[in-house]
Amino acid sequence: MIFIPGLGKGNPLSGSFFILFFGLPIVNNRINNKWVSTIEQEKRLLEGLAGNDREAIETIYRENYTMVQAFVLNNNGNPEEARDLFQEAMVVLFEKSVSGNFELHCQLKTYIYSVCRRLWLKRLKQMQRFRVVSEGLEETVPVDEDIENHEKLDADYVLMENALNKMGEPCKSLLDAYYLQKKSMQEIAGEFGYTNADNAKTQKYKCLMRLKKLFFAQYKNGI
């Protein structure tokens, strides 16, 4: 789960189901505070973000949030909208950092600003607000493809959540117990009345396959 201080713990990609379902790794890296170059430091921050490391996330927040807030407030926005925008930009950055092929060719603050700028311009257009953009940074980089991929993943999450809700019991509770509550197969066997852990594991596999089938059925039908 991505946690950003002061912004709340909920976001479209925070669920362990989603991370596991799409094969995103969860590790626990720590940031070394020794003197390192800006490039190396930002590389470590991205590695920490990919590993859901609190120190890395707080550092990115501390070094960039004020910039984003100022941009939003100067462009027909309010503090709550600035928090939401920064949260979404962090999700985009998280998706890129766990992709395994993300190479940052600019400063991290430039990338974050570019994402926030593009997302905010789209939002202003959707809300039909008059926009005269006052820039916070002169430099930006192309991020349209990254935002498009983010919006696709967001839509996929909604489909997967719908599929999970359609599963019924005991599959929904079983998957919740294993992936979210982190219970062992032995614990699940006792709780759900299976004779042993192997039988519980077999049922968990069947439930997961059913979840995937429901998800892709919705995806194919555009529901």
Q: Is the pLDDT confidence value at 19 over 60?
A: no
What is the distance between the alpha carbons of residues 177 and 188, in angstroms, rounded to a whole number?
Answer: 7
More reliable by pLDDT, 220 or 64: 64
Region 71-97 average pLDDT: 90
Average pLDDT over residues 54-79: 91
Q: Can you give the pLDDT at residue 61?
A: 92
Of the CA atoms within 13 Å of residue 88, those in its CB half-sphere come to: 25
Question: What pLDDT, on a 0 to 100 scale, did the predictor assign at position 178?
Answer: 86
- Average pLDDT of the segment spanning 177-191: 88
Cα gap 208→215, rounded to integer Å: 10
Residue 199 has pLDDT above 70, yes or no: yes
The reported pLDDT for the residue numbered 137 is 58
Break the chain into its structural domains and give their ranges.
16-144, 164-221
Length of the chain: 223
* Residue-wise pLDDT tens digits, 155-168: 666 767 777 778 88
Rounded mean pLDDT of 53-62? Answer: 90
Enumerate residues 6+ apart whose C-beta is below 8 A from 102: 46, 96
pLDDT band for 188, please (50, 70, 90 cuts).
very high
- The count of C-alpha atoms lying within 13 angstroms of the C-alpha of 7, restricted to the half-sphere facing its C-beta, is 25
Cα dihedral 129, 90, 140, 110 in deg (nearest 10)? 140
Q: What is the pLDDT of residues 107-147, one digit of tens each?
A: 888 889 999 988 898 888 877 766 556 555 556 666 667 67
pLDDT the model gives residue 186: 92
**What pTM did the predictor assign?**
0.55
- pLDDT, the chain, mean: 75
Please report, as a single letter, which amino acid is at residue 100. G
* 104 vs 185, more confident: 185
